[in-house]
Structure 1
């Protein structure tokens, strides 16, 4: 029996930050996740809405940058960037290969909190957790992905789970890994590495070149 068999699910906010604290954000996650985790990103029982996915990828980019991907059902509603408010200008930006994605990082400590493609906007939103300069429930100016989000190849948000602040209830990546709630993806082997019908996603162990 896993924790999710006895614990009611709920969507709740968590704080995250880079190591030096310049980058600060709030992310909404549903905990505990539904076991067994789905292989499809879209939920046929919820009008095709995107699912929450947490996964490790074995590609050279994700492996070397140290990314634990959190993909959210609705990035404009599930990710609030408290600082900085102009991430594409104020953060370091690494791009590779087709250069569609911005692997953003703090220029002071080097931590990579999220990867982004698309448009963002600065808005007033209610802060669900107390922060350094706002109380729980107060409105605050934040940056978030622009409303009307459609994940179509030009819009992308992945939050690095390693930068979610430690010690928050319900979020221990060791527990998530042991309960097989973290998915492993194989992009290192190439498009033709898997026979027809074989999925490049699994939950029991990493693919060659990946890590637990």
Structure 2
């Protein structure tokens, strides 16, 4: 609240004449971002392309405003921005044959994946900023410790897979790779509900 008041040139107490507290301020900020959020219309009219666009739009929102990924939204800001966002997102899966409850659950599952990736990306950036090292530099600086704990005799699978993944990603985790790998898997999972197998 102090920082917002300072940005607006107000005293912190003056801010409370506009909003009762931090929770309400966050709701207003989120709803404003939701209202202004780009809503992509993919060239491909299929549900997968529409759902991927929803995921990409949310990822872009989190990238532009990383703090939004950390705000709990189990009780979301009930405003026009949220309603417009929810309508857009549900419309991506409309007409797939999912009943209303499954449609909402499918959207929640998709958005949960995107939010998790965004939080991990924010953690990745924070770790780099706090340590003043890239992931690759951090792993190189800790190579001796890793060599002591990663015993290929006791942990053969962890050694093989961790080494391969670390070399490919430059560290234990790479937010972009996780998103690029995970989004098609999420859509494949939804396809099992939407597109029943033909015999």
Q: TM-score range by the shorter chain?
A: under 0.3
Bigger Cα Rg:
2
More strand by share: 1
Q: State TM-score, norm by structure 1.
A: 0.23
* Bigger relative contact order, structure 1 or 2 (CA pairs below 8 A, ≥6 apart): 1
